[in-house]
Amino acid sequence: MSHKVQSDAQFEEFYNRHYKYVYRLCYTYMKSEAEAEDCTEDVFVKVLTGDYEFEDEAHERKWLTVTSINLCKDRLKSWKVKEVDTLDEEHDVAAPEGEDFSDVREAVMRLPDKHKEVIWLFYYDGYQTDEIAQMLDRPPSTVRNQLRDARNTLKKLLEGGRL
């Protein structure tokens, strides 16, 4: 049975159910509270203004994941094109609600996007490599190789190395 987010009450329920997840995902890319909030808002505006039909909550989450990642990557690309670097590592704002970023999570945030995506989806969201491959439109073997490479990079980072 599929459903659409049509009424204000349905949207509010959808928003409340997924807001924290989308915000945290956007924050891992944007590394700024304000930018993560803007991207999160843009994702939910797409839901509100689009004509999307979801099969179930898992389908909602997959759609939100792919949409959030793509939106953040597009925004970061546009910054690079404009050569605007407003994210100074010394002035990063901590995530709201007292989020505790462990060394591992900080290392994940420093990974290149292609590695960060697969690590996030595999370890934080619990998707299997075949599901990740489908979501990111990559061959499963590529996803497995990216996971392996990301693990190796994380190991080096956590042992005191640099990217």
- Nearest Cα to 158, choosing from 103, 101, 100? 103
What is the per-residue pLDDT across 121-159, written as a single tens digit (0 to 9) for each? 888 888 888 989 988 889 999 999 999 998 898 888 888
Helix (H) or strand (E) holding 143, with range, is helix 140-158
In three-state secondary structure terms, 93 is coil
Question: Domain coordinates of the chain in residue numbers?
Answer: 1-94, 101-163
Q: Report the distance separating Cα 128 and Cα 150, nearest Å.
A: 16
Q: By the 8 A CB rule, do 46 and 67 touch?
A: yes
Per-residue pLDDT at 161: 62
Work out the pLDDT band at 1, boundaries 50, 70, 90. Answer: low
CATH number belonging to domain 101-163: 1.10.10.10
Region 39-65: mean pLDDT is 91
Helices 57-82 and 33-49, axial angle in degrees (round to 10): 130
What is the per-residue pLDDT across 66-81, written as a single tens digit (0 to 9) for each? 999 999 988 887 765 4
Per-residue pLDDT at 158: 80
CATH class of 1-94: mainly alpha
- 83: Cβ contacts below 8 Å, ≥ 6 apart: none
Work out the pLDDT band at 92, boundaries 50, 70, 90. Answer: very low
What is the value of pTM for the model shown? 0.65
Q: Report the distance separating Cα 23 and Cα 95, nearest Å.
A: 10
More confident residue, 125 or 85: 125
Per-residue pLDDT at 162: 62
